[in-house]
């Protein structure tokens, strides 16, 4: 199903029948992807007294309670409210859902015992392209990312100058296949988050960071049309479902 979309001054043709889902599903399993030192999510039938509300137990419907943390248990999109004293809701601040995006692949480089993504690497990968969204796939890129247990593992992260570069380049939506753009244990400095949202200047309320995505290896680097879907949670972060569509030449 081909669709022609007028996007700013450009006409783009995309194939709506071939969505590329970048989200990691949430399941009630210890193999569910996880970070930040908390237990696995749970999905279980609600109870009415001693009555278990599930079809298997004789009820007419399945009626599950779900307990999870959006930051720890899967693909999520967050706004500046993640790191500010004042409460900001991603649902209130993300008002557009379609963007031109560039998929880039980066091999984090070693620095002082950590693996990091630098400004220089992003400059090389993005070049002079102007995009509202940048999708970062790190390598190695294996399906282990779908079940990884990241707590106490010191995953790769963005250096502060890399986040500043993206902000100054006008990138409003940053998507990455890591549990955080910042170092796991950084004494609460959150340098990349803060730099991207410009918390020391005019805060970018409309800007978002999406973490815990997965970009399949058969997705080539380049320009795509992004549909950034979130659940309508009044919270700093929401589970999300970023979907790419290939732009037809």
Q: State pLDDT tens for residues 16-66.
A: 999 999 999 999 999 999 999 999 999 999 999 999 999 999 999 999 999
The answer to whether the peptide bond before residue 185 is cis (omega within 30 degrees of 0) is no
The packing angle between helices 160-168 and 119-126, to 10°, is: 40
The whole-number pLDDT of residue 27 equals: 97
Per-residue pLDDT reduced to its tens digit, 136-151 = 999 999 999 999 999 9
Domains, the chain, in order of start with CATH, read 15-246 (3.50.30.50)
Q: Which residues of the chain are under the pLDDT cut of 50?
A: none
The whole-number pLDDT of residue 155 equals: 98
The whole-number pLDDT of residue 8 equals: 75
The whole-number pLDDT of residue 17 equals: 92
Closest to 82 measured CA to CA, from 160, 194, 168: 194
The whole-number pLDDT of residue 41 equals: 98
The whole-number pLDDT of residue 69 equals: 98
Q: Report the distance separating Cα 68 and Cα 86, nearest Å.
A: 23
Q: Could you give the C-alpha distances from 201 to 79, 92, 163, 172, 173, in angstroms and in order?
A: 16, 21, 14, 16, 18
Residue 66 near residue 41 (C-beta atoms within 8 A):
yes
Residue 88 near residue 231 (C-beta atoms within 8 A):
no
């Amino acid at each position: 199903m081909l669709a022609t979309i007028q996007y700013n001054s450009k006409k783009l043709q995309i194939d709506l029948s071939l969505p590329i889902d970048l989200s990691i599903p949430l399941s009630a399993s210890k193999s569910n992807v996880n970070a930040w030192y908390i237990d696995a999510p749970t999905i279980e039938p609600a109870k009415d007294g001693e009555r278990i509300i599930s079809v298997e137990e004789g009820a007419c419907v399945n009626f599950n309670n779900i307990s999870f943390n959006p930051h720890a248990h899967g693909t999520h999109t967050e706004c500046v409210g993640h790191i500010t004293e004042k409460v900001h809701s991603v649902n209130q601040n993300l008002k557009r859902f379609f963007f031109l995006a560039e998929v880039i692949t980066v091999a984090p480089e070693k620095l002082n015992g950590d693996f990091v993504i630098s400004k220089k690497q992003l400059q090389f990968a993005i070049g002079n392209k102007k995009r509202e969204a940048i999708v970062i796939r790190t390598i190695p890129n294996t399906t282990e990312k779908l079940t990884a247990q990241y707590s106490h593992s010191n995953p790769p992260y963005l250096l502060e100058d890399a986040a500043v570069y993206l902000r100054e380049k006008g990138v409003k939506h940053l998507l990455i296949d890591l549990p955080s753009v910042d170092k796991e244990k950084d004494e609460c400095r959150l340098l990349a988050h803060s730099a991207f949202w410009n918390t020391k200047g005019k805060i970018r309320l409309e800007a978002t960071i999406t973490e815990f995505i997965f970009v399949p290896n058969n997705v080539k680097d380049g320009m795509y049309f992004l549909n950034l879907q979130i659940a309508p949670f009044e919270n700093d972060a929401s589970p999300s479902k970023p979907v790419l569509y290939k732009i037809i030449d």
